[in-house]
Chains A and B, each alone.
Chain A
Amino acid sequence: MEFFKKVSNFDFMGKRWYAITGSLVLFVFSIISLIFPGLNLGVDFTGGTVIELSYTQPVELGAVRNILSHGGYSDAVVQNFGTTRDILIRVAPRADMTSVALSEKILEVLRAGINNNQVEIRRVEFVGPQVGSELQEAGLLSLLFASLGILIYVALRFEYRMAIGAIIAMLHDPLLILGVFALGGIEFDLTVVAALLAIMGYSLNDTVVVFDRIRENFSRVRKGTPEEIINRSVNETLSRTLMTSFSTILVLIAMFLWGGQVLHAFSLALLIGIFIGTYSSIFIAAPVALAMGLSRQALLPPKREENDWRP
């Protein structure tokens, strides 16, 4: 089977200003949504306690809330988690009690409240405030470190204009994912940071393949403007870009649908990221490099040898 019998000839570069404008608008939207409503930070970053409970029979959220507020936990957030038998309780850090006491107390209150419905603790997570801020710091540091490392590598392997294009495309992706998470109020935890970094690597992977082809075409194809050559390169790698994205999406869909609640936010971030990453490596990375003035001369330093003597 083959979707691209011939090399496609879409005019990506001609449309680049539409894409860049569109991305800028989304950029601004993302930044606004990061300020308001802002990210729904999980317990990893804010500190606090999360308790996941499983009942033997379906349970009314209202009833659980009632019991908890009677027991003195009116600030507890109660929600379903997957099924109607599973619930998730979130409590902000409390002044008068350690987490150790807290989860026990809550369970006690709940056991007393609902008869004939056995309750089991599935998971308790408590993160102290100082650990929360440390994890935040580590998350930011890893984003920074990854960006810098990649910037240096691309600048060394290719050319600084391309490195800038790659970095912009790469930063573009997590920012838009963050925007989606902020707008959707999806919980942002440590696994999402991992997903963001994986997406940065992935998006770059796509970009590098396109850049690789651009470099090759600049040295091979003697005529044509930089715009034409870049456009041709994007088209030539298009089927690969789409196929790889597709195969990764297959894995992610399985993870999103059947991977369980713990991987939900993680796989969702990756899934959104693959779409955005594919888009950015086609519409953002190369156009930015072109806008920066990428040309044949820039890529072909006089001494550069292309080894064509291959068997």
Chain B
Amino acid sequence: MNQYALWKYILIAVCLVIGVLYALPNLFGEDPALQISPGTRGVTIGQDTLTQVTQALDNAKVAVKQATLTKQGLLIRLYDTDAQLKAQDVALDTLGRGYVVALNLAPATPQWLTAIGAAPMYLGLDLRGGVHFLMQVDMKAALEHAAERYVSDARALLREKKIRYLMVARAAGGGLDVKFKDDSERNQALEFLTRELRELKLSLQDNADGLHIIGTIPEKEQHAIKKTAVQQNLTTLRNRINELGVAEPVIQQQGEDRIVVQLPGVQDTARAKEILGATATLEFRMMDEEHDPREAIAGRTPPASKLYYERNGRPILLQKRLMLTGESIIDAASGFESQSSSPAVFITLDSKGARVFSQTTRELVGKRMAVVFIETKVETKNRDGRTVKEKRTVEEVINVAVIRSQLGKRFQVTGLDSTEEARNLALLLRAGALAAPMEIIEERTIGPSLGQDNIATGIFSAVIGSLMVIAFMVIYYGLFGLIANIAMIFNVVLVIALLSIIQATLTLPGIAGISLTMGMAVDANVLINERIREELRNGSTPQASIAAGYDKAFLAILDSNITTLIAALALFVFGTGPIKGFAVTLTLGLITSLFTAVMVTRAIVNLTYGRRRITRISV
């Protein structure tokens, strides 16, 4: 009686070995490290980069633990965080621009464990410190922006074909509105525009004030615009974060119009927020040199122009025609002009932008062009007891310069006051423009020291809690309590192994979930042991009592675990962030505890008491 088939023992042994192996990487901790990756396109990292950096570190007397070439770039492990900071400076000096040198914590998992794919759990922001942002993309602005582009395209196209129109503007409901004097011009335009602006749905409309072509943006196209806007913003954010030098950043779309940004281990949160929070777009516009801005201030703005202000508050008139937006900028670097050695910014455009730009600037040599920096701030105001969102757009001319010659793919902006100004302008240009403004709607920053504390307190309380449970179980149930404890520890190992295998993120509530499952995992054994005691009291033999105890308790264990599982699943489905972590560990813990508390303890009990005549058992 009370024997298990061999395959059950083997199954348990295999689970134990796999569990231990995959849980093991979590014990080795992490090395402070540098992660060097290509910053701009075209930069490659190879063996020579590795030698170059290690050589430089050697010269600077920074001890390197290990330097390897990985798929992402270079990974240089160091002995402590001081060396890490020093090494970052050295690496930056040696490699210069074009490389991202990020501080990182690299898992110190031994080679033989990584070979079987074992890796430690990923620590959540609340445990390693860092910033979490949830950003909302302003879709209305994205659509307006798109409409603006159609307006500008239509104007350019009609001019090119020399079709005369009275007005091109954004329609009231979004989209395009072109006004004509007579029908033949309108028909000509309709035919032409239908061919050129295929995305738009064009229709004719005769109003009292004239003949119109109205272009609406179809639903499908709107959807595409929104999608592109989020994609564009994701890319821009990635570039901006590269500027920050963060290892393993998370930049993901969430839902239709939201973006999650997580920057683990970021120490300088202020700078991160500054760079991410700037929801800016750039526009290049020609200056209207024929009219006086003072006229515009008095309310007589010329129809093709718009009044702007420079940073110092000086009014300036710019043409409404959009030359280029920041989306076309690939790179912008600050430096010095070769002849005068005055501060300058060197700009590189993408090919499409370069083509447009060289065409338009050819006729505009000697004229002034302005860079407009558009920042959108969203303010939450309290009006009549209700919170209202208000958007305020700040449009500022950050630079006005004369076009000295036809501009192409590469050009420079000079006449800047200081190197500081050049650097700022370059950063603003380089960070690219967002397709649509974004607003931070949720932010959680955990300082690095708090992360450390959270790990320490989380693990300490879990250990103390489990020690108390272990002591209690042994005191109350003797050998059967001890067996339950072994199963409980086995359960924790399995949960950690599973979390490591699926590369789940461990958060503080996750640790709480693990320690809670420890308390609840022994529940199954309490049920079994109480049943065994009951059977013994009823006069059954020890062997029969063990068998009956396990059998009769099983249904109750199953039912009770499934109900808890339902609650855990509800948490998982509706929970966000840390709560999800709690739900995951709770769910995994419940499932594995069914295996350990019932099957593993039974196996140990069978090995101890099975196959022999016994008169009493320790329960």
Contacts and interface: CB of A to CB of B under 8 A. Distances in A.
Interface of A: 1-2, 6-7, 52, 54, 93-100, 103-104, 120-131, 135, 138-139, 141-143, 145-146, 149-150, 153-154, 157, 190-191, 193-194, 197-198, 200-202, 204-206, 208-209, 212-213, 216, 236-237, 239-240, 243-244, 246-255, 257-260, 262-263, 266-267, 270, 310-311
B380 A93 contact: yes
A208 B560 contact: yes
B559 interface: yes
Given A100-B443, A125-B445, A236-B534, A260 B269 contact: no
Contacts of B379: 95-98
B562 A95 contact: no
A124 B512 contact: no
Nearest to B453: A260
B488 to A, nearest CB: 10
A177 to B, nearest CB: 14
Contacts of B570: 142-143, 145-146, 149, 197
Interface string B558-596: 011111111111110111111100110010000000000
A247 B566 contact: no
A311 B473 CA distance: 29
B526 interface: yes
A141 B572 CA distance: 12
B555 interface: yes
B397 interface: no
A262 B475 contact: no
Secondary structure call for the B interface: helix
A58 B590 CA distance: 43
Contacts of A124: 269, 443-445
A131 B556 contact: no
20 contacts: A6-B537, A98-B440, A100-B277, A122-B447, A131-B441, A142-B570, A142-B573, A146-B566, A146-B571, A149-B567, A153-B562, A157-B559, A191-B509, A194-B509, A209-B556, A248-B520, A250-B465, A250-B468, A251-B519, A263-B458
Given A125-B445, A247-B473, A254-B515, 5 more contacts: A201-B567, A251-B515, A254-B461, A255-B462, A259-B458
B563 A204 contact: yes
A93 B509 contact: no
Contacts of B556: 208-209, 212-213
B533 interface: yes
Contacts of B464: 254, 258
Contacts of B443: 99-100, 124-127
B454 A260 contact: yes
Interface string B516-549: 1011101100110010011001000000000100
A239 B555 CA distance: 18
B47 interface: no
Contact of B522 (A150, A206, A209, A247): A247
B387 A198 contact: no
A153 B469 contact: no
A258 B461 contact: yes
A125 B473 contact: no
Contacts of B583: 194
A243 B444 contact: no
Contact of B575 (A142, A206, A251): A142
Question: Contact residue range for chain B?
Answer: 35 or more
Contact of B378 (A98, A213, A267): A98
A131 B461 CA distance: 32
Contact of B564 (A94, A121, A202, A213): A202
List 6 A-B pairs, minimum CB-CB distance, nearest first: A201-B567, A254-B465, A142-B574, A260-B457, A128-B441, A146-B570
A247 B519 contact: yes
Contacts of B579: 190-191, 193-194
Contacts of A213: 556
Given A131-B442, A213-B556, A253-B465, A259 B512 contact: yes
A145 B519 contact: no
A125 B508 CA distance: 16
Contacts of B466: 251
A216 B527 CA distance: 15
A205 B273 CA distance: 46
Contact of B563 (A125, A138, A153, A246): A153
Contacts of B304: none
B28 interface: no
Contacts of A201: 563-568
Given A146-B566, A258-B460, A131 B134 contact: yes
B439 to A, nearest CB: 8
B581 to A, nearest CB: 10
B555 A251 contact: no
A98 B461 contact: no
Contacts of A260: 453-454, 457-458, 461, 508
Nearest to B517: A251
A208 B526 contact: no
Given A154-B563, A251-B469, A240 B446 contact: no
B491 to A, nearest CB: 13
Nearest to A49: B443
